[in-house]
Amino acid sequence: MSEPPPDVVLLATGWRPRALLRAQLIEQGFEVVATNSWPMMRRHLRPGMKPHLAIVDVQGLPDPFTVLADLRVLMKPEQVLVLTALGTVPVAEVERLGFHALQRPITIEDVVRTAARLIRSHPVHTQ
């Protein structure tokens, strides 16, 4: 029997923000897989084994528009939280794709609070 999917799959290219966010999500009781590349994240988005939530930090991501387009096919948009920053993907574009967005400046607590709310609103592993 295979293991259940994690609650959250996190993609962030920066080690520090990825580690801090992962640690805080774990502290809140979520199972988290964190990665620094889109190919690694995509491995955790298999049919029948989707996480409750995918979090993508577009800051430093080599091709964020392609990642978001692919992610829209792989996950229900309402189960995706995108962290943006000035000079990356505009919040309006993220929301046009149906994703949730938080724009920097934000705190780890802002992200964790939003993630917890989104997970509670979509509690079942589907797709």
Domain ranges of the chain: 8-121
Q: What is the pLDDT of residue 64?
A: 96
Element (H, E) at 18: helix 15-27
Residue 108 pLDDT > 70: yes
pLDDT band at 46 (very low <50, low <70, confident <90, very high): confident
pLDDT band at 127 (very low <50, low <70, confident <90, very high): very low
Question: Whole-angstrom Cα distance, residue 18 to residue 2?
Answer: 26
Residue 1 pLDDT > 70: no
Calculate what percentage of the chain has a pLDDT beyond 90.
83
Give the residue with greater pLDDT, 123 vs 76.
Answer: 76
> Is the pTM value of this prediction over 0.85?
yes
Nearest to 55 by CA among 113, 96, 126, 4: 113
Total H helices, total E strands in the chain: 5, 5
Q: What is the pLDDT of residue 126?
A: 42
Tell me the CATH class for 8-121. alpha beta
Residue 42 pLDDT > 80: yes
What token pair was written down for 66?
Answer: 């392609």
Nearest to 107 by CA among 17, 8, 12, 9: 17
Q: What is the pLDDT of residues 7-39, one digit of tens each?
A: 999 999 999 999 999 999 999 999 999 999 999
